[in-house]
Amino acid sequence: MQKQLEEICEKALKEIENANSKADIEKIKLEYLSRKSILNNIKKGLKDLSPDQRPILGAFANEVAQKIEKSVEKKEKDIYHKELEEKLETEKIDITLPGKTIPSGKPHPLTKTIEEIVTIFQGMGFTVTANENSPEVETEYYNFDSLNFPKDHPAKDMQDTFYTKVAPNVLLRSQTSGAQIHTMENKKPPLRIISPGRVYRCESVSARKNNLFHQIEGLVIDKNVTFADLKGTLNEFTRLYFGEARPTRFRTSFFPFTEPSAEIDVQCIMCKGKGCRTCSQTGWLEILGAGIVDPNVLQGVGIDPEIYTGFAFGMGVERLAMLKHAINDIRLFFNNDIRFLEQF
């Protein structure tokens, strides 16, 4: 029996020495130190020995058990330290490394442009009327007739305007000018509003034209409003929007709902007025339409043109964004190419 114990002790110590992990140690404990271990089995056999042998071998068995226990304890500590060391080594944080950038979304360049323009006009005392005041699915009356368009005006033609199948007079608005009528029907003058929104036109898509785009409509109605007010307001707008004193010019034009009407040009951003491809060698770029509100329009909404006058203007958001940022293709706004969108 003594020999057997010696062998067990030797085998256990060797196994302990070779153990590398907590799992190894657990196995060893189970095999040599638990109640079901070989060692315990031997201890159970002690009672069959002669009385003089029993205490000697009993003491020896205890000695062996203690040796194994001690050795296990020491190994457990070693393994704990080794694993801690490894953990510290692999999980080390290098605080000098640059942080990971988390990609974040941002407003679309058109949204930004609208916000920028709206902010400028708010600074001049205009309030914004939202879409609910002027829907994108509109009637012929608000898009054309109430704005003094003659019944046979070419803009009403199917080629320019998307008509729906809902009803013969229901269309996708081709301009935000209907917002003028909605506003004047709902509020009494004095009025000083702008109304941004989407408009639709039935035309073939190219670098300069998309069949969906955005406009911002403006309307001022008060007593004694003159063309000088229109000029002052829009000159101030171009100065603030383009960020420097950029020459503007007012050209006579025609719109059914304003009289007189004008188109406003800014000096070409590209060539500074010398003449280039962007401005078709004219040195000027058209940025908006405007005019004094036609008395017929005021009468149509029950405002007395003898008491009130006003001016209106309308501008294309894409066009203004393109001119400011030298973007040469309107389709870039709608293609969702991150490389383009990221630049704003």
Q: Closest approach of Cβ 326 to ligand DAH, in Å?
A: 23
Q: Report the alpha-carbon distance of residue 172 to residue 200 in Å, rounded.
A: 6
In the complex with ligand DAH, which residue's Cβ is closer, 178 or 283? Answer: 178
237, β-bridge pairs: none
Q: Closest approach of Cβ 246 to ligand DAH, in Å?
A: 21
Q: Collect all residues with Cβ–Cβ distance below 8 Å to 263 and sequence separation of at least 6.
A: 250, 251, 253, 286, 288, 289, 290
Taking CB under 6 A as the criterion, the residue among 225, 290, 298, 321 binding ligand DAH is 290
Taking CB under 6 A as the criterion, the residue among 195, 238, 258, 267 binding ligand DAH is 258
Cβ atoms 146, 178 nearer than 8 A: yes
Please tell me whether residue 314 binds ligand DAH under the rule CB under 6 A. Answer: yes
Q: How many other C-beta atoms are found inside a 10 Å radius of the C-beta of residue 210?
A: 18
Binding mask 147-176 for ligand DAH (x = CB under 6 A): ----------------------------x-
Please tell me whether residue 256 binds ligand DAH under the rule CB under 6 A. Answer: no
Please tell me whether residue 177 binds ligand DAH under the rule CB under 6 A. Answer: yes
Please tell me whether residue 289 binds ligand DAH under the rule CB under 6 A. Answer: yes
Q: Report the alpha-carbon distance of residue 97 to residue 168 in Å, rounded.
A: 66
**Residue list 204-223, contact with ligand DAH (CB under 6 A):** 217
For residue 215, what are its two tokens? Answer: 């406009």
In the complex with ligand DAH, which residue's Cβ is closer, 111 or 253? Answer: 253
Residue 237: exposed, middle, or buried by beta-carbon count in 10 A (0-12, 13-18, 19+)?
buried
Q: Which stretch binds ligand DAH (CB under 6 A): 96-104, 234-242, 276-284, 287-295?
A: 287-295
Please tell me whether residue 312 binds ligand DAH under the rule CB under 6 A. Answer: yes
| Angle subtended by helix axes 53-90 and 38-45, to nearest 10 | 170
Please tell me whether residue 197 binds ligand DAH under the rule CB under 6 A. Answer: no
**Nearest Cα to Cα of residue 284 among 251, 329, 313:** 251
Interface ranges with ligand DAH (CB under 6 A): 175, 177, 217, 255, 258, 289-291, 312-314
